Chain A
Amino acid sequence: MAIEKTDVVIVGMGAVGGVMAAELGKAGLKVIGLERGPRLKTADFQLDELRYFQRKDLRPSPKTQPVTWRPNASATAVRLPQLDYGNQAGGGTVHYGAVSWRLHEDDFRARTQTIERYGLSAIPQDSTLADWPLSYAELEPYYDKAEYDIGVSGKAGNLQGRKIEGGNPFEAPRQREYPLPPLTKDQPSILFEAGAQKLGLHPFSTPHAILSQPYKGRPACTYCTYCQAFGCYIGAKSSILVAKLPEADATGNVTIKTGAMCYRINSSGKRVTGVSYYGPDGSDNTIEAEIVVLGTFIYDNTRLLLLSRTDAFPNGLANSSGQVGKHLMTHIMPNVFVAFDDRHVNTYMGPSAQKYTVDDFNADNFDHGGLGFIRGAQISVGTPNLEGGPISFSTTAPPPGTPRWGAAYRDYLAKYFTRFAVMVAQTENLPYADQSIDLDPTVRDQWGLPAPRLTYDWRRPNERATVEFMMKKMEEIGRAMGGSQVWRGPLSPGLPGAHHEGGTRMGNDPNTSVVNKYGQSWDIHNLFIVGSSTFPSMSGFNPTLTIEALAYFSADAIANKYKKSPGPLL
């Protein structure tokens, strides 16, 4: 067993780990980053729909790294057939669609906002909806840093309180423009924009961490469509792999170990001492560190705490609150499809995920009085499954009356593959304490560790009402776009959707949260847990830019506060 010593060990080299390794390395701390997958290169990535979309290369294998799911605590969990998070250095940002939102101001205070406007009774009784322990204004400089550091293309809609034509009128005030102009509009975006405007809505180009122009030595996007599910073949997508890991290398203070599966956080009383991990050769290794940062996908942030239980923490490390694993949230992602008879729209071109957006029905941007739900969703136009190739198209539901095979289906594919677009609503799913992550009692992964088990069913009254409302809005937009056929996609039987969040929620109260706003454990001051696992509520937006902003925020706190005086930051 090898034992190494370092200042900081970071588990997971994705959106959190890559940012924090680079920032802490720059601050002079010696960092070891553990990554269970490989570190790939831009030259490794092929434009191959079968490999990356259909067979899910770049994702964990459900066979060797299973995650199980059950709709409720009395059901037996089954293995999820596919997993949508990352499995390599750069994490999910390698294959993501690169949609890069800042949350709204009221997303940080969803509970208070709801009570002020609609009264406490508007919040479902069993929901654990909570405000964030930090405000938008506090995080804004870190959003700004993330956008300029990694490279995000978009159009401001609110510059220091001034509304800007062409941007999102509902966005929170930003101190300056995006570093790069929006990506070029494609035919689905043109139709979506015209249709939404006809309905009095406010469409705009979705901000993407994809370079619309060359930036920091990386080339501009070529609109090839191999985006969501793929690694970018020229590095124009601002993944952490290309945008931050080279920066981490350049500090000379960061060592990244790949094929390194952390299986335990080591601790002594109320202090963590490091981590243990299995190497690619099966070796059992230990790193001793002054600070441990957990930056894995939400399943493993929870799982590692539960696996690292001690006499001092019999219910899981850093879990004196009993909140570890609670409040799992996911985006439900209802779809509406639109087919055109008067034109080709060639949806397979351009950025594949969420090309153009309306934010009119997100957050508290509209009056929810009498609607039967709170919060909302962004609605955007794009490709089926956020991926534009024909295999993806073949997995979607044809319009009612068209069979799924045979001559009529063949003719449908032949006619509409290039005359078809999809809308998606990323509905904000409220937190509920019984939506949770724990350890599966029987299923184990390739390392012999218990699989993470999700207990989750989105089909609650608030969420059903949200989905129905958004479906209707998308149908209206589809008709306004000039679609000859507009139809709904099927809904999942309760399964978790995209962008999983929660499990180690942050808060102001050590009794009801796992970490403070810096991601610092309330129980163990040299343990930091960072990522969407700390979100108290999820918003109707993709989480990655917020995850990255929180990583900058935590790194800043460690480098400029904690390092000088180790101890509780709050």
Chain B
Amino acid sequence: MSEHDESRRAFIVGAVGAGAAASTALVQAAYAKTARPKTATAKIPTSKSPTAAGAPAEHAVEIFEGGHGVFFNDEHAATVAAFAERLMPGAPGKPGATDANVINYIDLALAGAYADQQDFYRRGLAQLDAYCRKAYDQPFAKLSAAQQDDVISALEQGKASEFEFPTAQAFFNTLRAHTMEGMFADPVYGGNKDFAGWKLVGFPGVQLFYTGADLASKEAFTRAPITGLQGRATKGA
């Protein structure tokens, strides 16, 4: 278990153990999906025995408010979310990785179907952090967009030679593949929020049929709304 895992556990145990209204609000704030800034500063208990008598020590940490909570710690979630957003940046009318909640998709996948890649991610993120601190004296999430793009290019081209396992290219390729999955997989998997990815490219999702007129058309498909797997289940089709 990494030190970050311990920190999260202490935070959760402390919040529950204290039972104070302030702590409850803090949990809600930490997990709420808001459109406001992606990080918030909060005071959290860090004692390893928070239920013991005596006030636990407190200090300020940054809490990432993205859609994660089953695998990534806050720092890793912030890094992966920033990385994904540079791979698929959002713009007005063009939903990106943040809009699609790609971080939530990857977080859920690493706690489930891709659990065997947890170590790959931890090691990759540690190497990415070391690379960024060496080159820019800052973690990836704090870099400017242009600097982040330079880092990603270095990974893609295998120029970040400090990477051992995973290699820079393997780490890039995996993050890229998982970002695309989070953009375009059915929303049931936690990404593609409100069909953001499907809207971006014009894919109508789960359509049970296309007509001859649909097949021959030279126009974009608009006959039926975008539908996902759970929509299909709801309609009992």
Task: Enumerate chain A interface residues (CB-CB to B < 8 A).
Answer: 46-50, 54-55, 63, 184-187, 190, 222-225, 233, 343-346, 348-350, 389-391, 393-395, 404-407, 409-411, 413-414, 417-418
B176 and A190 contact, CB distance less than 8 A: no
Instruction: Mark out the residues of chain B between 181 and 199 whose CB falls within 8 Å of any chain A CB in the assembled complex.
Output: 181, 183-186, 189, 197-198
B88 and A404 contact, CB distance less than 8 A: no
Question: B37: shortest Cβ distance to chain A, in Å?
Answer: 22
> Contact residue range for chain B?
35 or more
**A47-B229, A348-B203 as given contacts; A222 in contact with B185, CB under 8 Å:** no
Contacts A63-B116, A414-B202 known; list 19 others, CB within 8 Å.
A46-B229, A47-B208, A49-B185, A50-B189, A54-B181, A185-B216, A187-B215, A224-B209, A344-B217, A344-B219, A349-B210, A404-B156, A406-B87, A406-B89, A406-B149, A407-B89, A409-B87, A417-B201, A418-B220
Q: Residue B184 contacts which of A55, A391, A404 (CB distance < 8 angstroms)?
A: A391
Chain B 202-226 near chain A by CB (<8 Å), digits 1 or 0:
1100111110101111111100000
Task: A393 to B202: give the CA distance in the assembly, Å.
Answer: 12
Smallest Cβ-Cβ distance to A349: which chain B residue: B210
Task: A394 to B215: give the CA distance in the assembly, Å.
Answer: 22
A185 and B202 contact, CB distance less than 8 A: no
Task: A158 to B197: give the CA distance in the assembly, Å.
Answer: 46
Smallest Cβ-Cβ distance to A186: which chain B residue: B215
**B180: Cβ under 8 A from any A Cβ:** yes
Q: Nearest 6 CB-CB pairs, A to B?
A: A222-B209, A50-B185, A417-B201, A394-B180, A343-B218, A186-B215
Task: A222 to B209: give the CA distance in the assembly, Å.
Answer: 5
**B60: Cβ under 8 A from any A Cβ:** no
Task: A501 to B60: give the CA distance in the assembly, Å.
Answer: 63
**A404-B156, A418-B201 as given contacts; A349 in contact with B214, CB under 8 Å:** yes
Q: Residue A404 contacts which of B176, B183, B202, B232 (CB distance < 8 angstroms)?
A: B176
Task: A404 to B177: give the CA distance in the assembly, Å.
Answer: 11
Smallest Cβ-Cβ distance to B232: which chain A residue: A47
Task: A286 to B183: give the CA distance in the assembly, Å.
Answer: 49
A414 and B200 contact, CB distance less than 8 A: yes
Task: A223 to B183: give the CA distance in the assembly, Å.
Answer: 24
| Interchain pairs with CB closer than 8 A, number | 120
- B203 cross-chain contacts in A, Cβ below 8 A: 348, 389-390, 417-418
Interchain Cβ contacts under 8 Å between A and B, 14 examples = A55-B113, A187-B216, A190-B216, A223-B209, A223-B214, A224-B209, A233-B208, A343-B219, A349-B221, A390-B183, A390-B197, A405-B156, A405-B176, A413-B201
Question: In terms of DSSP, what is the predominant structure of the interface of chain A?
Answer: loop
B186 and A406 contact, CB distance less than 8 A: no
Instruction: Mark out the residues of chain B between 139 and 185 whose CB falls within 8 Å of any chain A CB in the assembled complex.
Output: 149, 152, 156, 176-177, 180-181, 183-185
B186 and A48 contact, CB distance less than 8 A: yes
Smallest Cβ-Cβ distance to B233: which chain A residue: A46
B184 and A346 contact, CB distance less than 8 A: no
**A47-B206, A348-B203, A390-B201 as given contacts; A407 in contact with B91, CB under 8 Å:** yes
- A393 cross-chain contacts in B, Cβ below 8 A: 201
Q: Residue B185 contacts which of A224, A391, A406, A418 (CB distance < 8 angstroms)?
A: A391
Question: B87: shortest Cβ distance to chain A, in Å?
Answer: 4
Q: Residue A390 contacts which of B89, B198, B220 (CB distance < 8 angstroms)?
A: B198
A414 and B184 contact, CB distance less than 8 A: no
B152 and A405 contact, CB distance less than 8 A: yes
Question: A407: shortest Cβ distance to chain B, in Å?
Answer: 5
**B45: Cβ under 8 A from any A Cβ:** no
Question: B231: shortest Cβ distance to chain A, in Å?
Answer: 11
Question: A33: shortest Cβ distance to chain B, in Å?
Answer: 31
Q: Which of A50, A186, A345 has the most CB of B within 10 A?
A: A50
Q: Which of B177, B212, B216 has the most CB of A within 10 A?
A: B216
**B86: Cβ under 8 A from any A Cβ:** yes
Smallest Cβ-Cβ distance to B189: which chain A residue: A50
- B89 cross-chain contacts in A, Cβ below 8 A: 406-407, 410
Q: Which of B116, B152, B217 has the most CB of A within 10 A?
A: B217
- B87 cross-chain contacts in A, Cβ below 8 A: 405-406, 409
Instruction: Mark out the residues of chain B between 68 and 123 whose CB falls within 8 Å of any chain A CB in the assembled complex.
Output: 86-89, 91, 94, 96, 113, 116
A224 and B181 contact, CB distance less than 8 A: no
B229 and A224 contact, CB distance less than 8 A: no
